[in-house]
Amino acid sequence: AAAGSASAETVTVRSDGTDLTSVYGAADLNDKWDSGSTEISMNGSSAKISGSGAEYKDGKVVISKAGTYVFSGELTDGQIMIDAEKEAVVHIVLNGAKITSSTSAAIYATKNAKKVIVTLADNTVNELADAKEYTYENADDEEPDAALFVKNDLTFNGGGTLKITANKKAVHTKDSLVILGGAYEISSADDCFKGKDAITAEGGIFDLTVTDTEEGKGMTSEGSVKLYGGTMNIEDSNEGLEG
């Protein structure tokens, strides 16, 4: 099902003329970064960090402060963990990044931060893959449950591509999800995009496939799912959109 015109780049004006600077904050619409950003160059089982606010330990790049973090290269078995201070806005730039985890989510944000913004850098292909079997500290834990899992508001922007291969859900936020641009090629055993409060897509190109469960959906929210632009193809899901 199509929804408006295709555009992978960050949308700033809706087709009806609505200026999105009146709807979203400047941080949501910002798909750039500068020399003050922290750069993380990943190489197999290691990562080199230039800048502050992040450290690499036990296979994880752990982000502890608000700021912009630019990821490139490949982490063959690890995770980006966002565990920043309360009310922090953390800007993740995927600049030709590939992250695979054998034990959990590829990107995991705890409940402390206020918002996570993921920029898909123009002209890049980025890949995330989660574990086939998740390892939890406690037997009754159920989170994370997605290749990209955040307990905060989540925004996607930029003109690049994000490919996700998910053994559980692909993208799951426990708050609101906003998609302002990007191209998404997702193969997920469960929901491709799940938001708690709402999902709003202003633009983007979506190629979504649910592979295993009868319950999986392309986009689902306990609140609303609103599509203002972009193009969407959903295959083999129980229900394409729900909200």
Q: What residues pair up with 92 in beta bridges, in sequence order?
A: 69, 118
pLDDT in tens, 193-221: 999 999 999 999 999 999 987 778 999 99
3-state secondary structure of 27: helix
Q: How far apart are CA 12 and CA 129, in angstroms?
A: 30
Residue 8 vs residue 19, higher pLDDT: 19
Percent of the chain at pLDDT > 70 equals: 94
Confidence of residue 2 (pLDDT cuts 50, 70, 90): very low
Percent of the chain at pLDDT > 90 equals: 83
Q: Which amino acid is residue 45, in one-letter code?
A: S
Q: How far apart are CA 135 and CA 103, in angstroms?
A: 5
pLDDT in tens, 74-111: 999 999 999 999 899 999 999 999 999 999 999 999 98
Closest CA to 117 of 47, 173, 164, 194: 173
Phi, psi of 91 (to 5 degrees): -105, 110
pLDDT in tens, 34-75: 999 999 999 999 999 999 999 999 899 999 999 999 999 999
Mean pLDDT, residues 159-164 taken together = 97
3-state secondary structure of 20: helix
